[in-house]
Amino acid sequence: MQTKKGQSIEDASMKMIEDEVGPHEFNEKEWPIVRRIIHSTADFDFANKNKLVFHKDAIESGMNALKNGCSIVVDVNGVIGGMNKQNPKDFGNNIVCNISKPEIMELAKKEGKTRSQVSMRAAISDMDGGVVAIGNAPTALQEVIQMVKEGIVKPALIIGIPVGFICAAESKEELSKLEGAPFITNIGRKGGSSSVSATINAIFKLIRAESTF
């Protein structure tokens, strides 16, 4: 929960973002997410409609799943660190991060895969009907896309904004063409855990604005 001073700083930051961006092409539910991502990254490239991609069902599907207590599967603990912890507590969402489990490391070595790939496969039961949030590992995003194509999972929402040079842009381009699940992603190398955390926080804020729970 914000202190009065903290809230005043956030409000001033949001106004600064509004003023600097000016007119934009995002709708009334997309813009609070975009604004929150800019707030967390200070990167105004995200205000480019051609750089941040929303599947037509992404926000509604994510809102419905989160407010009904779905699991949130993340690739790294950094995503959890940036999340408002009160939201999953209030709505009963289980946060799943398998990346640091010893058995994941052993299986990754055995199968010649990254820990991120194996950690996504290990979260199938939580991922189906849940929200998948990937901000760091392109291989995790590629694995989720493959699982969707295999028909073994159907997340309510995939937030895929991994940062990096190797396969980051490519994995997001592939996600932007996925037909098996709603998604939010961006074009290019930029991204990161803070972008993903900001997206989740913004969706929860939309939920709170629309309903009493």
Mean pLDDT for the chain overall: 95
Which of 113, 201, 195 lies closest to 161 in space, CA to CA?
195
Q: For 82-140, what is each residue's pLDDT tens digit?
A: 999 999 999 999 999 999 999 999 999 999 999 999 999 999 999 999 999 999 999 99
Residues classed as catalytic: 39
| pLDDT at site 75 | 97
Question: Which of the four pLDDT bands, split at 50, 70 and 90, describes residue 2?
Answer: low
* pLDDT, tens only, 177-209: 999 999 999 999 999 999 999 999 999 999 999
Give the pLDDT of residue 98.
Answer: 96
**Inter-residue contact 63 to 201 (CB < 8 Å):** no
Question: Tens digits of per-residue pLDDT, 47-63?
Answer: 998 899 999 999 999 99
Cβ atoms within 10 Å of 20's Cβ, excluding its own:
10
Residue 180, helix vs strand vs coil: coil
112: Cβ–Cβ under 8 A, 6 or more apart, which residues? none
pLDDT at 1: 61
**H helix intervals, the chain:** 4-21, 30-41, 58-67, 77-81, 86-91, 102-111, 115-121, 124-127, 138-150, 168-175, 193-210
CA angle, 146 as apex, 63 and 194 as ends, to 5°? 45
Task: State the DSSP string of 87-127.
Answer: HHHHHTPPEE--TT-HHHHHHHHHHT--HHHHHHHTTHHHH
Q: What is the reported pLDDT for 212?
A: 57
Which structure tokens are listed for 173? Answer: 């381009």
**At 78, is the pLDDT very low, low, confident or very high (cuts 50, 70, 90)?**
very high
Q: What is the pTM of this model?
A: 0.95
The Cα–Cα gap between 108 and 115 comes to: 5
For domain 53-210, give the fold: Rossmann fold (3.40.50)
